[in-house]
Amino acid sequence: MVDLIFGLILVGVYAGAWYYFEPFKHAERFGEGGKMNFEIKKAKHMEEKLSDVKGIDEIRDEVQDLIKMIKDTKSYTSKGAKLYRGVLLSGSPGTGKTLLARAIAGESEVNFLYCTGSNFDEMFVGMGAKRVRELFAEARKNTPCIIFIDEIDSLMSKSRRFGSEHSSSRGTINQLLAEMDGFEKHEDIVVIGATNHEQDLDPAAIRPGRFDKKIHVPLPDVNGRKEILQLYLDKISLSDKVEAKKLATMTPGFSGAEIQNLVNTAITQAVHMHKEEADLADFEYARDRLMMGIERKKLTMSEKDRLNTAIHEAGHATVCFFTKGAQKLYKATIVARGGSLGATFMEPDEESMLSTTKMKCLANIDTAMGGHVAEKLFIGDKKITTGCSSDLQGATDIAYQAVMKYGMFGEELGYMSSSTEELSEEMKAKIDDKVKLILQESEVRVEKLLLDKGSEIRELAKNLYWYDYLDADEMKTIFTGKGLEKERVREWEESETKHGMVQF
């Protein structure tokens, strides 16, 4: 009994010592007494300007009006207007929300206080709320000031208030709400938050009176990508034949961060190849690297696997090329990249990034089914590979979205848009049956198409086997019955087909 009591006392001493000394391990982040050291940039040191933010012309006027209000608050308050307490920037990752916030501070000529939502997450009870108080106290010392909280969803998520998180976590968000409610007209403090997940934010936190203005920062369109590309192309050694406009059309769906990475990858590849400047081939390499992943050239693959992969990818490409509403072909390969043995890549069109149609959804389902059906027809039912799994998953996901989210089959199932958790078991069963029927009808369409285009898919599969890579123009050449003049990486052995590897 004495030993047990002594053991408990010893454990308590160790726990107390750990609790006392642990905060001092983070001395670089905290000042004396555990106070948070926030990153502050004075107005004179803010170099970013609105001219540095490219590809968001549609929200420039909105931002300029905000800058006027921050820069000359008296003109507004003297007439009864109130300074915005908070501005929420939302959008996909890499669209330039942080740069935009810095540009707002630079144009407004005010101090800039930076932190992230994770700065307020700690294991000690009450520490998060304490840091919120310290943040606003620091801002009041440096007015006029912009407080920028990056990834604010980790601080203001619904789960803090309505979920199972600890009460101290709720205390952190409550402290933030109290501080924002406590603003006075003359304090000259604006909170700018950035998030990729606006739907996850606590509605009480983003209501008017706290975050009065919401700005969605979209992915750049083709003209926006051209502006961003030109900004980065001007900073590297570049061939005269490379044009920002052409690169912009090659990169649909790319964010500003991805465009910067594209340019950097291209010039890096040029240096690796001992070139003086980056040319179009370097940008082709960079785009392939970003879209398709790393080549696994040393992966051991049998000729049988290569032939099967060629059939599979030829199925995708043939369906994509001959199906109305499908995306534009980009490239097909039987070289392993990432986790796949081969791949067929399509380019999303600008319209589909904004909205899509029932015809395009069905076309995408058919394209995804193309590999599976090609294997069944040309390799055999019993030799279908596991490479079809991700394709079937993709087709299934599109079908479920079309039924449950977009109401494209509402004449049979109604037009309500709901998540699975909100549906009855009866309705779930009806949806499952409809999705199954959509996939079965897709399989019938694809099978008919591939049988009708039997000579085209055979020729495409052979060329994929011969060359490893085929781009969109080369595939179009094959589909129109013309031969390719390229150096083959391997030869097609007719004897291979006689042993049942591929039924040609």
Phi, psi of 266 (to 5 degrees): -65, -45
At 224, which amino acid appears? G
Q: Which helix (H) or strand (E) holds 99?
A: helix 97-108
DSSP 50: G
Q: Using N-to-C axis directions, what is the helix angle for 167-181 and 127-141, rounded to 10°? A: 20
Q: Select which of 258, 313, 375, 474 is catalytic.
A: 313
List CB contacts of 43: < 8 A, sequence separation 6 or more.
105, 109, 110, 111, 112
Structure tokens at 370: 């193309």
CA distances from 295 to 162, 335, 342, 468 (A): 46, 7, 10, 12
Phi, psi of 484 (to 5 degrees): -100, 140
Q: In what order do the strands lie in the sheet with 86-91?
A: 39-41, 111-116, 145-150, 189-195, 86-91, 213-217
Let me know: does 492 contact 463? Beta carbons within 8 Å. no
In angstroms, the CA 447 to CA 80 distance is 69
Q: Among this protein's residues, is 313 annotated catalytic?
A: yes
Would strands 343-347 and 328-333 be described as parallel, antiparallel, or unpaired?
A: antiparallel
Report the chain's terminal Cα–Cα distance, integer Å: 83
Phi, psi of 201 (to 5 degrees): -80, 150
In angstroms, the CA 127 to CA 328 distance is 53
Angle at 384 between CA 379 and CA 390, to 5 degrees: 130
Phi, psi of 415 (to 5 degrees): -115, 20
CA distances from 30 to 15, 27, 280 (A): 22, 5, 49
- Cite the active site residues: 313
